[in-house]
Amino acid sequence: MIGLLHWLTLIIMSASLLGPLPVAHAQTPVPPSKILAVLNTMTPEERVGQLFLVTFRGTDTSAESQIRDFISNHHVGGVVLLAENDNFIAEPDTIPAAHQLVNSLQSMEWENTASSENTYVPLFIGISQEGDGAPNDQILSGLTPMPNPMAIGATWNTEFAKQMGTVLGSELSALGFNLFLGPSLDVVESPNPSAQIDLGTRVFGGDPFWVGEMGRAYIAGLHTGSNAHMMVVAKHFPGRGSSDRVPEQEIATVRKPLKQLRLVELQPFFAVTDSMDPANLADGLLVSHIRYQGFQGNIRATTRPVSFDPTALSAVIALPEFTKWRENGGLIVSDALGSQAVRDFYSQGVETFSPRFVAQDAFLAGNDLLYLGNITSDEVGSDTYSITVGILEYFAQVYKNDSTFARRVDEAVTRILAQKFRMYDLFTVSNVLTTADRLDALGSSQQIMFEVARNAATLISPDSQELITLLPAPPNQSDRIVFLTDTSSYKQCNGCLLYDAFAADALQKVVVRLYGPTGSAQVFASRLSSFPFTELELMLNRESTTDIESYLGNATWIVISLADVSDGQIALLRRFFSEHPNLLRNRNIILFSFTAPYYLDATDISKLTAYYALYSKQPAFVDVAARLLFQQASPEGDSPVSIPAIEYDLIMQTSPDPEQVISLSLAEAVSTTPTSEVTPSTTETPEPTQIPLYRIGDTISVRAGPIVDHNQNIVPDRTVVRFTMSTRDESGLILQQIDATTSAGVAQASFAIDMPGKVEIRASSEPAVISDVLQFDSSNEGAAVTIVPVATTTPTMVLPTLTPTPQSPLISPEGYPRVGVWLLVLLAVFGGALLMFWAVSRIVSPRWGLRWALCVLLGGLLAYNYLALGLPRAAEWIASGAGAYGVLFLTLIGEALGALVAWVWMKVFSEPMSQAG
C-alpha cells in the first residue's frame, strides 16, 4: 500500500510539473510518462546523485580524477566551475580549454552509461558570471566584457538588460554551460557603505519594482541567447539587501517580518516567478543563508538560516505569488553549503560540524538541488572530495531505509529531470555537446557594451546647468592633465600570470587615442601623466621616489578614477584632499566612480569640480569617461540607488514628477503598451478631442498615464492614482473619488453615471496634481465626452557648442617644436641681431653695437618662447588663427622692444653720441 501511494504521488507530481509549462524554454510539454520512464530505470545512487551540484579542483578529467569518480560512480546532477578552483587556464587558451572541459564532463556521464546499465542524464554545468571582471566573474578573458548589474540598472532601460542577458546567454551556451547562478535580485534600499557587507554594484538598484523589471528582462535574454538551453537560478532568495555581514563569512540576522519582506526584498522574486510571459520566468531560486528576527511577527523569535529552516522556507514558498511557479516545476536551490558561515553556525557551542547532517537539513528544509561548494570539515582527511563522497553515500543509505525520505528525493528528482528535459528533448550526448565553431564569435559584442555605458553614465554633482558654468570648455593644448587611478589586477588561476584589470594609464590611453595626435589633436601626449593610488599614498607618506607632487602642482586638470573601496581608497582620497589643499586650488578636479556612487560624503564631493558615476571598469565605460571629460558625450543615466551625500533619495526620485501633466483618456481609446521611458511632448494649442456619447446609467472607464517619475521613467507599479469626478461649476462638488494603482505606469478607474449635470474627471498622483480634464454633460439623451489637455512646455537644456582646439603653429601634437617655424624664427632673430650690430657699430661704437645686438636677440627669443610655452593670452593669439607668419611678426615685435631697451640703456648710461667719433 505504501509503495502504491509512493508511485501515485510521483505520477501526480509529474503531471503538475508538466503542464502547461510557463518557462522560457518550455518547448513541447514533457509527458509525465517520459520522466517516469527515466526515473524508473535509476538506482537509488543515481537518484540521490541528481540532487547535488559539486565542485572540483583543476582541469584533470582522466580516469583517476576525482571529478570522474563523482560523475561515473556517484552520478552527481551537476558541476559548478570556479576560477578559485583553477577550473580555467590562462589566456589565450581560456576559452577553448573551458569548452573542452565542459564537453569532457558531459561525455563522462555518456561514456559511463554506454558501458553499463545506468541511465544517461545530462549534467548541469553551472557558472556564476556577474559582470565587471574579477572578482565576480569566473572567466576573465575571451568573452565580451560584461558590465555589472548596477551599470545596467543605471540605464533604466529593460531592453539593455535583455540585450546583456542575450549576449551572455549566447556566449556561455556556446561553451556548453547550461546552468546560470544569477542574476542577483537583491535590493539595496538604504546604502550603508560603512557596514561589514556592501553589495555595491552587484545589484540592479534600490527600487524593488525596477530590480524586478531588470531581472526579468535579463533572464529573458539569457533564455533567448542560449536558445532555451540554460536553467537560470535567480539569487539570493529571499533577499539579502538589508543584511550587514558578508554571507560567506558569517550568517547575518535581519530584523524584518515576512509582511515587510513582501513589500521590498521579495518583490523582485515575485516579478520573475509570476509573469504572463514565460520567457521572463526564472527556472530556480537560490536560497541564501540568512536569519530573520520577528519573521512571523514575534520580535523575540529568530529563525534558523532560512535555507535550513523548513518552517520559514515553506512559509515563504507558500506565498500565493510563488504557488503557480512552484506547481509548474520551479526549483529551490541551496546556496553553497561549504561556506565558512555555515560551518560557524553549526559549530556553535559543543556541536560538531557534520557535513552530511548539514546537507540533510538543507534538503529537508525544502531545497531540491544542493550546491555543496568547496565543503570541508575539521576532521582529519576531510577534504572536499572525501566529504562529498560521504554525503552521497549517506543520502543513498537513508533513501533505502526511509520511505518518507525516498519519496521526498523522488519528488525533487522529478523536478530536476523536468528541467533537464526542457533543455534537451532527448537525453543523448549529441543534443548536449557543443561544437567549437561557435567560439570564434565570442567577445564580439563591444558596440552593445558601449551603448550601455553611454546610457548608464551619470552626473552626480553638480547639476547640468552648474556644470556648464564650472566647465565651459574641455581640456585643450595648453592644459596639463594628471590621472590618478585606483588600479587593480587579476589572475585567471593561481599559477597564471598577473594582468592589469584597470591600469594606471587606462584612461590616459583612451584620451590619447581619441583626442591626442592620432585623434582630434586637442591635447598633447607630452602633457598627460598617470599615477596609481599607491604612488599617491607614497607621496602622502613622504616616501615617493617619483616627482608626482610636482606634476600635480603643474596640472590644470586632476582626473581621479575610483574603481573599488575595499582597500582604504576613500580614506586615501580624504587624506589627499585635507593634507594638500594647495594642489586642488584653482584646478579642475574630476572624479569618475567606476563603482557604486554612494561612498563619498558631502564634504568629499565639495572638493570636486565634477563627479560622475560610470559604475563599471570595463573598457567601454572607460571610453565613455574620456568622452565625458572632453564634453563629447553627455551623461544619460540616473543613479539606481540612493546617494545620501547629495540628498538623492530613490523613493522620491521614483515618485511622480510634480511638473508633469497627467494625460487622461478613455480606456477604450488608448494603447496598452507602455514604454520604459516617457518624454512629455510640447502642446502649443490644446484642441478638445470628441469621444462617443455616454448616457445616465452607463459606466465610463478612464485611464491616466503613462505617469512618469522625477527621472522621466514610468513610475513603479502600485503607485496610487486618485481619480476625482466633480461638478463643473463654481462649487466643484466632489461626486465620486476612486483610488487605483498603476501597472506599467498606467492606472484605470470606472465611474457610474447616475445623475444629470455637467461633470468633469481629473486625476492626481502625489505630488503630481495636475492632469488633463475629461468633461461631459450627463443626460438621458447622451453627451459626448471632451478631453481638454493642459498646455505644457518641455524645458530644453542648452549645451555649449564645442569648438575643437586649433593646432599650435609652434608645437607638434607630440609636444615638440615645429622645425620649420623654429628655423624661420632663428633666422629672423639672428639676422636682426647682426643687422643691429652692424648699424650701431658704424654709428656709435662696436661695444654698443654688441649690446644692441644682444638686446634684439633676447627680445626676439623671449617673444617666441612666450608663445611656445603657452603663457597668458598666448592661447588666444594662436586661437585667432595666427600661423607661422604671425609668429614671425610677434618675434620682430620682440626684437623691436629689445632695441628700445638698448636705446634707453645707452641714453642713460653712455657718453653723448657726439663724442662717439
Residue 794's pLDDT band (boundaries 50, 70, 90)? very low
Give pLDDT tens digits for 605-635: 999 999 999 999 999 999 999 999 999 999 9
**CB pairs under 8 A, 24+ apart, for 815-820?**
815/524, 815/525, 815/526, 815/527, 816/526, 817/868, 820/884
Amino acid (1-letter code) at residue 509 = K
pLDDT score of 867: 65
What's the angle, vertex CA 351, arms to CA 345 and CA 356, rounded to 5?
A: 75
What's the angle, vertex CA 435, arms to CA 434 and CA 438, rounded to 5?
A: 105
Give pLDDT tens digits for 419-461: 999 999 889 899 999 999 999 889 988 899 999 999 999 999 9
pLDDT score of 23: 38
Grid coordinates in use for 322?
510563488
Residue 66's pLDDT band (boundaries 50, 70, 90)? very high
pLDDT score of 89: 95
155 three-class SS = coil
What's the order of all strands across the beta sheet hosting 557-562?
458-461, 610-613, 588-593, 557-562, 481-485, 528-532
Q: Are 99 and 176 in contact (CB under 8 A)?
A: yes
Q: Which residue has the cell 492606472?
A: 747
**Whole-number Cα distances in Å, 128 to 133, 177, 247, 769:** 12, 10, 16, 46
Mean pLDDT, to the nearest integer, of 510-522?
94
824 three-class SS = helix
CA pair distance 787, 783, nearest whole angstrom:
13
Q: What is the pTM of this model?
A: 0.82
Give pLDDT tens digits for 396-409: 999 999 999 999 99
Give pLDDT tens digits for 137-157: 999 999 999 999 999 999 999
Give pLDDT tens digits for 96-125: 999 999 999 999 988 877 666 678 899 999
What phi-psi label fits residue 124: left (phi over 0), alpha (psi between -120 and 50 degrees) or beta? beta
CA pair distance 555, 557, nearest whole angstrom:
5
Task: Of 174-178, 345-349, 351-355, give the range with the top mean pLDDT.
Answer: 174-178
Cβ neighbors of 112 (< 8 A, separation 6 or more) are: 71, 72, 118
Greater model confidence, 354 or 331? 331
Q: Is residue 275 scored above 80 in pLDDT?
A: no
Grid coordinates in use for 791?
498646455
CA pair distance 234, 186, nearest whole angstrom:
10
Q: Are 239 and 208 in contact (CB under 8 A)?
A: no
Give pLDDT tens digits for 166-222: 999 999 999 999 999 999 999 998 887 776 567 889 999 999 999 999 999 999 999
pLDDT score of 910: 62
Q: How many CA atoms lie within 13 A of 778 on its CB side?
A: 22
Q: Which residue has the cell 543513498?
A: 396
pLDDT score of 669: 41
3-state secondary structure 532-589: EHHHHHHHHCCCCCCCHHHHHHHCCEEEEEECCCCCCHHHHHHHHHHHCHHHCCCCEE
Q: Is residue 854 scored above 60 in pLDDT?
A: yes
pLDDT score of 909: 67
